[in-house]
Amino acid sequence: MPVSRRGFVKTAVAGAGALVLSGRIARAQASDVIKVGFISPRTGALAGFGEPNSFVLDLARKAVSGGISAGGKTYKIEILDRDTQSDPSRAGQLAKALINSDGVDFMLTTSTPETVNPVSDACEAAGVPCLSTGMPWESWYFGRGAKPGEPSPFHWTYHFGFGVANFSKAYISQWNGPVKTNKRVAFLMPNDADGNSLRTIFKPILEKAGFTVIDPGGYEDGTTDYTAQITKFKTENCEIFTTGPIPPDFAVFWRQAAQQGYTRMVKIAQIAKTCLFPSQVEALGSLGPKLATVAFWHPTFPYKSSLTGLTSQQLADKYEKDTGRQWNQMLGDNVGLIDAGIAALKSSDNPKSHQSIAKALSTLKVMTPVGQLDWTKGPVPNAYPMVFAGTQWVNAKPGSKFKLDMVVTDNADDPNIPIGAKLVPYNG
């Protein structure tokens, strides 16, 4: 049936009105939804860091399923999870896509400089608030261009992570503990943000504390032959060994060190960045037990999640029951990231405003499984240091469904953490 000119106009006007109304409803709905990006390595060389994150995000989504209240309004929370595949370039690209295509209001990122720094840089450049964890704060702060003694160049990015002061207190206390050594330290650090920070800041602290540090220089990630370094450590009779590599590199080095007889000389092997998780240590077979490391979270930490209400022990127990896997340090750390992120949104005047979220982050105080975080007390305005406990991997007790246990052997950095056992020699 033909449509008259008047009918066509009325229909067109009605359709346009419906489109306008639909657009208003969509915008109103969007204004009630806070989009939070979450970027971590779930696959690739750094996959151990992202192992608990499906569980962590499931906890988070359930905890905020009813929305959150902020600035007198209730908002829904949408968490957009992305996997870097352990690729720094991809981490930056994912951040830009979440910002430009998905329109996230807030970014959370975790686990090593290879993930956190490119994501933080993308957020800083775009003026999007970002909170991160899972790496040393110096590598995050100075590794991104900040200068000692100068004002912070960062307005949108915030971080909580252990620092060299925490490393130093935990390591030195552990090395001066029950295992007696000649205080000669094999110092194997990669030529990357972590390794260079430790070489610049940590090495002089060790020397001042009376240790002789043997540093053959930075090596490149992916090195396959460590004969020169091993020979030097043997020649120098280094009874303490310390390193901070990506997991595949340490496995290659430690097997070569065993083949060339160096591991029989080592009384304390203190490993950072890798050997933090049971899966990494189990992969070393008989070379794994008695490796020492540090814990930025452990089930015996006397702290709990402000968002879920779970204590550290309850969190570990639930994870093992629900997943069948052994607890992992990043479980507590990343729940802490969620705790702090949601707390920042709740304390902001307007969580749809980038400026309001950033302002809330700058004064945030929140309880998490890794302890109380307080950005009013950081060493720099944008970072707060986590505590460390000295730990060691040991064979699990008979009847355990897991092969290894991590036990706390030193609490110099936080006396509230209970000690579970004395450190024993690696070559004993």
Q: What is the pTM of this model?
A: 0.86
Q: What is the pLDDT of residues 203-255, one digit of tens each?
A: 999 999 999 999 999 999 999 999 999 999 999 999 999 999 988 899 999 99
In tens, the pLDDT along 376-404 reads 998 999 999 999 999 999 999 998 999 99
**Residue 120 shares a structural domain with residue 173:** no
The whole-number average pLDDT for the span 144-160 is 96
Inside any domain, residue 416:
no
Q: Is the pLDDT of residue 163 over 70?
A: yes
pLDDT at residue 258 greater than cutoff 60? yes
Number of domains observed in the structure of the chain: 3
Alpha carbon distance 311, 428 (integer Å): 35
**28 pLDDT higher than 70:** no
Structural domain includes residue 262: yes
Domain span at 108: 34-163+300-384
Q: Is the pLDDT of residue 291 over 60?
A: yes
Tell me: the pLDDT tens digits for 14-27? 444 444 333 433 34
Per-residue pLDDT at 282 exceeds 80: yes
| 17 within some domain | yes
Q: Are 198 and 288 members of one domain?
A: yes
Coil, helix or strand for 37?
strand
Distances (CA, A) of 320 to 252, 310, 317, 381: 29, 14, 5, 37
For residue 180, give the CATH number of its domain.
Answer: 3.40.50.2300
Give percent of the chain above pLDDT 70. Answer: 93
pLDDT computed for residue 418 by the predictor: 97
pLDDT at 272: 87
Q: Considering Cα of 215, then 220, then 221, then 222, what sign does the dihedral take? A: negative
pLDDT, tens digit, 9 for 90 and up, residues 359-375: 999 999 999 999 999 99
The better pLDDT of the pair 273, 135 is held by 135
Same-domain status, 77 and 145 = yes
Cα 79 to Cα 246: distance, rounded to the nearest angstrom: 28
Residue 150's Cβ-count burial label (10 Å; 0-12, 13-18, 19+) is exposed
Q: Is 187 left (phi over 0), alpha (psi -120 to 50) or beta?
A: beta
For residues 15 and 81, membership in a common domain is answered with no
Residue 423, domain member (yes or no): no
Whether 214 is covered by a domain: the verdict is: yes
- pLDDT in the model for residue 10: 45
Residue 140 domain-assigned (yes or no) = yes
Using 50, 70 and 90 to split pLDDT, how confident is the model at 420?
A: very high
Tell me the two tokens of residue 314.
Answer: 């309850």
Give the neighbor-by-neighbor strand order of the sheet with 268-271.
212-214, 184-188, 240-243, 268-271, 292-295, 389-395, 404-410
Residues in contact with 171: Cβ distance below 8 Å, sequence separation at least 6, in sequence order: 206, 242, 270, 294, 390
Q: What residues have CB less than 8 Å from 44, skipping those under 6 apart?
A: 84, 85, 86, 87
> Do residues 374 and 404 share a domain?
no
Q: Given this model, what pLDDT does residue 30 score? A: 60
Are residue 126 and residue 112 in the same domain, yes or no? Answer: yes
- Tell me what pLDDT residue 167 has: 83
Say whether both 97 and 130 belong to one domain.
yes
Q: Are residues 21 and 45 in the same domain?
A: no
Distance of alpha carbon 363 from alpha carbon 347, whole angstroms: 10
Q: What integer is the mean pLDDT of 65-80?
A: 96
Same domain, 270 and 395: yes
Do 240 and 128 reside in the same domain of the chain?
A: no
Same domain, 405 and 379: no
- Read off the tokens for 48: 């151990």
Cβ pair 122, 348 in contact under 8 A? no
Q: Are residues 212 and 288 in the same domain?
A: yes
